Amino acid sequence: MKRLKLLTSVFMMFVFAGINAQETEQKEPRQQGHTNQNKFRQMYQEMATPNQYRTASGAPGPAYYQNEADYKMDIVLDDKNSVLTGEETITYHNNSPQDLEYLWVQLDQNIRKKDAPQKDGDGLAPVATAAGFANKYLETPFDGGFDIKEVSANGSDLKYTINQTMMRVDLPKPLKAGETYTFDIKWSYNVNNHVTNRARSGYEFFPEDGNKAYVIAQFFPRMAVYNDVEGWQNYQFWGNGEFALPFGDYEVNITVPADHIMEATGELQNRKEVYSKEMMKRYEQAKKSYDKPVMIVTQEEAEKAEKNFSEKTKTWTYKADMVRDFAFSTSRKFILDMMAVDVMGKDVMAVSVYPKEGNPLWEEWSTKAVAATLESYSEHTFQYPYHKAVSVHAKNQGMEYPMICWNYGRPDENGNYSDRTKFGMISVIIHEVGHNFFPMIVNSDERQWGWMDEGINTFVQYVAEQEFGKKHPEAIAPESNYPSRRGAPSKIVPYMKGNQDYISPIMSNPEQVYQLGNNAYGKPATALNILRETVMGRELFDYAFATYSKRWMFKHPTPEDFFRTMEDASGVDLDWFWRGWFYTTDNVDIGIKDVQKYYVTDNPTEAGREMLKRYGTTPEETKALYVVSEDDEAFSEEMKGKSLMENSETLQAYVMDNFSEEERKNLQAPKYFYQVTFEKPGGLVMPIIVELTYEDGTSEKVTYPVQIWRKNDSNVSKVIPSNKEITKITLDPDLETADVDVNNNSWPKNENKSEFDEYKDSAQD
Ligand SMILES: [Zn+2]
């Protein structure tokens, strides 16, 4: 205890000095008042007030509710004419405490109506591609909007109004709280070519064999979300902001040419009718194959089917419970393979569907990537609740739906592919299969908050990719980690130090941001990675993150629910982190401004005397030591290399009077006192991570918590007592904070890079 007292009293002197310098600096005689802009203030102004629906802990409250929509659908695909026709019965459960006068239904395909409003400005560049030019100025716009043929209930027409991509269905009488309403919609639309007419849904046409491969989604009128946060979420579909959808149960019959192979959301109900005997046999084998995929439809069989063009049809029947959407993929070109995965003690089927154009890449990696994703994500969130996860290969696609997703990654005509194609494909599969967790199960509002599914998912994707590299070392280069494109702090630096005119805060609607990929994917993923590795540590972070995932599994969380849960379950105050990283476009830049070496002496200095006077005390009363730097007049060369007590008899006397012999043996005797001043040109507050290198070549890492910035946002000093001479100080030595300028990160200063070197470095990225 006494040892502490000694150090405390020595440090008090430094602290006096520190406060003196920082708090009583000459101030202009102004002064205007100001509001509390402290970066550590709590987020009462930014966050919604907690209530009975959503609590201050970030968990659903006692009055939390969510509405549900169940669908029964009959869908027919006219392959020749690329027309999709459907009849659906929606049963809507109003679990809210309010009566509803009308229902809102989403008509996403109306974004492809001929006369859909053009929401973006454009211009002509000095050079254009023929395809782009033809597509934009020569072709008649494709007419892909919904033809709504009927909206009715019990055989009587319902009044409805279509406002672009939203349809209001007026109810004959309000739907009472707690009641259910059933109505029918009949519709059709022209399916677009998703490759030439870029879209998440449509077909790819293969001119060599005359076939189409369909990936069909957002294809039926879907209920909008009604909840305690938005009322009806009927913000129009503009293309970037994805979907807000309620959970429900689906029963879907899909009729396609008899020689098609299909995969879809849900459990196939009539497998024996649509599979051949051989396929059934292989399917049974796949259920027991945990280490490699079993081919259900081989490439040879698929190539044979390509030439059929059957005139007959088959109907595939699917059932899915507690899903927020339904999608399917169908073609006679499809190869199909499956493998069982043991996900925390539960069997799930990992499935891949691809045309021969995807091989040999797809038969090698797709299903293995699906399996690894289910394992990794389940570890970090909750056990995957569905019975399967399907990866479909579709050109240029990367898009997710419940249990099924579309993924890019295609070898060239000769079956050759680069590492970039291979890792691009594995990564997109991990990402899109990962979306089963966010937002298919943790059902956030994508229309409003792109980062809640994309950013959180890209973060877990990064973790899963690194784990994939460990599970499949044969997939990556020897002695290396999986080459993740996003997630590592250094990867977000170019974006965060970019032109502020083209950066939006993460907390922005996806339709209004610049650089959606960096804004909604890269930056939040990196922020969460830094939170896990540098700010909170894995143990606290992982527990809180899993708590959020479990609390909001099969529910609709908001950003506040995430922010609050992460603090509530970890005991770490993170308001400063959310505000800085999610609500502003500030970046991280911490530097070493100055390093001074200090000694103590009994010889009074002018500054020391003055300070004692100011505090109304005497050297005798305080048993004063005087602190001097090498620039001070009171400094002499003899002080160097001597211990504290060798330089100060006052201190010696104090120790003799106050410590027993036993205690004196344990006293430390630092010879050097460094005062390091850190500056912070970047707006974000972050912990200061320092690597100290000593004269004997050893080094040590010290981390000062972020709170060090709470009373001074621009610079802060820290005293480092040391037995050994410090030869080098490096900030953020492992580049874990996304510091945008490392030129100010070392002492003595590294030679500034020339502009040419910087150019060379950036050209290698
Ligand atoms: Zn995504």
Ligand 1 centroid vs 133 CA: distance in angstroms?
A: 29
Does the pLDDT at position 92 exceed 80? Answer: yes
Q: Which two tokens stand for residue 185?
A: 């919609």
Ligand 1 centroid vs 209 CA: distance in angstroms?
A: 32
Ligand 1 centroid vs 547 CA: distance in angstroms?
A: 22
| Residue whose tokens read 């100060």 | 648
Distance, in Å, from the CA atom of 474 to the CA atom of 484, rounded to the nearest integer, reads 16
Enumerate the H helices of 689-740 as residue ranges: none
Distance, in Å, from the CA atom of 343 to the CA atom of 436, rounded to the nearest integer, reads 14
Q: What does the pLDDT look like over 43-82, one tens digit per residue?
A: 999 999 999 999 999 999 999 999 999 999 999 999 999 9
Ligand 1 centroid vs 377 CA: distance in angstroms?
A: 14
Q: How much is the pLDDT for 27?
A: 58
Ligand 1 centroid vs 455 CA: distance in angstroms?
A: 8
Length of the chain (residues): 765
Ligand 1 centroid vs 428 CA: distance in angstroms?
A: 9
Q: Is residue 393 within 8 Å of 410, Cβ to Cβ? A: yes
Does the pLDDT at position 437 exceed 90? Answer: yes
Q: Which two tokens stand for residue 503?
A: 């950066």
Q: What does the pLDDT look like over 336-366, one tens digit per residue?
A: 999 999 999 999 999 999 999 999 999 999 9
Ligand 1 centroid vs 381 CA: distance in angstroms?
A: 17
Ligand 1 centroid vs 395 CA: distance in angstroms?
A: 16
Does the pLDDT at position 1 exceed 50? Answer: no
Higher pLDDT among residues 635 and 358, named by residue: 358
The overall average pLDDT reported for the chain is 93
Query: Which of left, alpha, beta for 11 (phi over 0: left; psi -120 to 50: alpha)?
Result: alpha
Alpha-carbon distances of 579 from 109, 236, 564, 584, 585, rounded to whole Å: 37, 28, 13, 7, 10
| Residue closest to 694 by CA, chosen among 723, 669, 725 | 725
Please name the helix (run of DSSP H) or strand (run of DSSP E) that holds residue 655, with its range, or none. Answer: helix 649-658
Q: Which two tokens stand for residue 457?
A: 């998912």
Ligand 1 centroid vs 635 CA: distance in angstroms?
A: 63
Q: Is residue 568 within 8 Å of 57, Cβ to Cβ? A: yes
Q: How much is the pLDDT for 138?
A: 84
Q: What does the pLDDT look like over 452-491, one tens digit per residue?
A: 999 999 999 999 999 999 999 999 999 899 999 999 999 9
- 725-734: average pLDDT: 96
What spatial distance separates the first Cα and last Cα of the chain, rounded to whole Å? 54
Q: How much is the pLDDT for 4?
A: 41
pLDDT band at 31; cut points 50, 70, 90:
confident
Q: Is residue 109 within 8 Å of 170, Cβ to Cβ? A: no
Q: Is residue 354 within 8 Å of 361, Cβ to Cβ? A: no
Ligand 1 centroid vs 522 CA: distance in angstroms?
A: 11
Angle at 356 between CA 354 and CA 357, to 5 degrees: 95
- 15-42: average pLDDT: 70
Distance, in Å, from the CA atom of 344 to the CA atom of 724, rounded to the nearest integer, reads 51
Distance, in Å, from the CA atom of 374 to the CA atom of 354, rounded to the nearest integer, reads 20
| Residue whose tokens read 């293995």 | 368
Q: How much is the pLDDT for 28?
A: 65
Distance, in Å, from the CA atom of 742 to the CA atom of 645, rounded to the nearest integer, reads 39
User: Which of 51-55, 119-123, 175-179, 699-703 shows the lowest mean pLDDT across its residues?
Assistant: 119-123
Distance, in Å, from the CA atom of 229 to the CA atom of 430, rounded to the nearest integer, reads 31
Distance, in Å, from the CA atom of 687 to the CA atom of 684, rounded to the nearest integer, reads 10
Does the pLDDT at position 762 exceed 70? Answer: no
Q: Running DSSP on this structure, what letter comes out for residue 518?
A: I
Ligand 1 centroid vs 432 CA: distance in angstroms?
A: 6
Ligand 1 centroid vs 487 CA: distance in angstroms?
A: 14
Ligand 1 centroid vs 485 CA: distance in angstroms?
A: 14
Ligand 1 centroid vs 324 CA: distance in angstroms?
A: 16
User: Which of 6-15, 161-170, 180-189, 431-440 shows the lowest mean pLDDT across its residues?
Assistant: 6-15
- 199-221: average pLDDT: 97
Q: Which two tokens stand for residue 537?
A: 């540590």
Q: How much is the pLDDT for 752?
A: 53
Ligand 1 centroid vs 517 CA: distance in angstroms?
A: 10
Distance, in Å, from the CA atom of 296 to the CA atom of 281, rounded to the nearest integer, reads 9
Ligand 1 centroid vs 502 CA: distance in angstroms?
A: 22
Sheet holding 626-629, edge to edge: 626-629, 591-601, 672-679, 715-722
Q: How much is the pLDDT for 3?
A: 43
User: Which of 124-138, 192-206, 441-455 shows the lowest mean pLDDT across its residues?
Assistant: 124-138
Q: How much is the pLDDT for 764?
A: 39
Ligand 1 centroid vs 453 CA: distance in angstroms?
A: 7
Q: What does the pLDDT look like over 374-386, one tens digit per residue?
A: 999 999 999 999 9
Q: How far is CA 391 from the centre of its chain?
A: 21
Identify the sign of the CA torsion 225, 230, 234, 238: negative
Does the pLDDT at position 759 exceed 70? Answer: no
Q: Running DSSP on this structure, what letter comes out for residue 498?
A: S
Identify the sign of the CA torsion 375, 381, 385, 389: negative
Distance, in Å, from the CA atom of 742 to the CA atom of 498, rounded to the nearest integer, reads 15
User: In terms of C-beta density within 10 A (0-12 exposed, 13-18 middle, 19 or more buried), how is residue 305 classed?
Assistant: buried
User: In terms of C-beta density within 10 A (0-12 exposed, 13-18 middle, 19 or more buried), how is residue 218 classed?
Assistant: buried
Ligand 1 centroid vs 213 CA: distance in angstroms?
A: 22
Please name the helix (run of DSSP H) or strand (run of DSSP E) that holds residue 239, with its range, or none. Answer: none
Ligand 1 centroid vs 435 CA: distance in angstroms?
A: 7
Does the pLDDT at position 630 exceed 70? Answer: yes
Ligand 1 centroid vs 458 CA: distance in angstroms?
A: 7
Ligand 1 centroid vs 454 CA: distance in angstroms?
A: 5
Ligand 1 centroid vs 491 CA: distance in angstroms?
A: 18
Ligand 1 centroid vs 472 CA: distance in angstroms?
A: 23
Does the pLDDT at position 275 exceed 90? Answer: yes
- 642-665: average pLDDT: 90
Q: What is the pTM of this model?
A: 0.92
Which residues, at least 6 apart from 513, have a Cβ–Cβ distance to it below 8 Å? 450, 504, 519, 520
Q: What does the pLDDT look like over 555-599, one tens digit per residue?
A: 999 999 999 999 999 999 999 999 999 999 999 999 999 999 999
Higher pLDDT among residues 275 and 23, named by residue: 275
| Residue whose tokens read 């899993």 | 546
Q: Is residue 85 within 8 Å of 187, Cβ to Cβ? A: yes
Does the pLDDT at position 707 exceed 60? Answer: yes
Does the pLDDT at position 282 exceed 70? Answer: yes
Residues with C-beta atoms within 5 A of ion ligand 1: 454
Q: How much is the pLDDT for 641?
A: 80
| Residue closest to 545 by CA, chosen among 524, 523, 568, 522 | 568
Please name the helix (run of DSSP H) or strand (run of DSSP E) that holds residue 471, with its range, or none. Answer: helix 450-471
Share of the chain above pLDDT 90, in %: 83
Q: Which two tokens stand for residue 26?
A: 């000459």
Residue 675 phi/psi, 5° resolution? -110, 115
